[in-house]
Amino acid sequence: MPIFVAALLRPAVYTRWLHLAMGGVFAGSCVMVVPGFDESLPRTLLFCLISPLPLLVLAAIVPGTRHAEGAQARWLLKPHDGTEISLAPSRSLYDQRRTGLWLVFRVWLGVAVLALTANGFALAVQFGFAPFRQGPLQAAGIRVLDSDRLFLGPLLAPPLVLALMGTIVAAGELQARAARALLGPSPAERLAEVEHRAEQLLERNRLAAELHDSIGHALTLTILQAGAAKQLASTDPAFVHRALTVIEETGRRAMDDLERTVGLLRDAPAGPRARPTLAGLDTLLDGARTAGTPILADVSPRIDDIPGIVSREAYRILQEAVTNALRHAPGNTMTIDVVVDDSCLEMRVVNPLPAGSISPPRQDGKGLRGARERAVLLGGEFSAKPRDDHWIVEARLPLGMGSGPQAMRRGLAGSSYENGVITADGRS
pLDDT in tens, 88-107: 999 999 999 999 999 999 99
Percent with pLDDT over 70 in the chain: 82
Q: What is the mean pLDDT of the chain?
A: 81
In a 13 Å sphere around the CA of 75, the CA atoms on its Cβ side amount to: 9
Q: What angle do CA 290, 296, 298 make, to 5 degrees?
A: 125
pLDDT the model gives residue 198: 66
Asked if residue 403 has pLDDT above 80, the reply is: no
Please compute the mean of the pLDDT values over residues 344-367 and round it to a whole number: 72
Which of the two residues, 347 and 239, has the higher pLDDT score? Answer: 347
pLDDT the model gives residue 416: 38
93-128 and 63-77 helices, crossing angle to 10°: 40
pLDDT the model gives residue 245: 78
Q: What DSSP assignment string belongs to 52-81?
A: THHHHHHHHHSHHHHHHHHHHHHHHH--SS
CB atoms within 10 A of CB 47: 22
Q: What DSSP assignment string belongs to 225-256?
A: HHHHHHHTTTT-HHHHHHHHHHHHHHHHHHHH
pLDDT the model gives residue 342: 85
| Rounded Cα distance, 49 and 110, in Å | 10
147-185 residue pLDDT tens: 888 888 899 999 999 899 999 999 999 999 999 999 999
Q: What angle do CA 293, 298, 304 make, to 5 degrees?
A: 115
31-74 residue pLDDT tens: 998 888 877 778 888 999 999 999 999 999 999 999 999 999 99
Cβ–Cβ under 8 Å, residues 287 and 220:
no
pLDDT the model gives residue 73: 94
Sign of CA dihedral 231, 234, 239, 241: positive
pLDDT the model gives residue 329: 80
pLDDT the model gives residue 367: 76
Cβ–Cβ under 8 Å, residues 319 and 293:
no
pLDDT the model gives residue 53: 94
pLDDT the model gives residue 396: 92
State whether residue 85 is helix, strand or coil: coil
Asked if residue 2 has pLDDT above 70, the reply is: no
Sign of CA dihedral 281, 286, 287, 289: positive
CB atoms within 10 A of CB 156: 18
State whether residue 350 is helix, strand or coil: strand
Q: What are phi and psi of 145, to 5 degrees?
A: -135, 135
> Residue 303 carries which DSSP code?
G
Query: pLDDT category, 395, cuts 50, 70, 90?
Result: very high
CA proximity to 350, closest of 377, 321, 327: 321
CB-based burial label for 339 (10 Å; 0-12, 13-18, 19+) = middle
Instruction: Return the minimum-mean-pLDDT range out of 160-169, 369-378, 408-417.
Output: 408-417
pLDDT the model gives residue 252: 76
Q: What are phi and psi of 41, to 5 degrees?
A: -65, -45
Asked if residue 409 has pLDDT above 50, the reply is: no
| Rounded Cα distance, 343 and 224, in Å | 38
Which of the two residues, 22 and 206, has the higher pLDDT score? Answer: 22
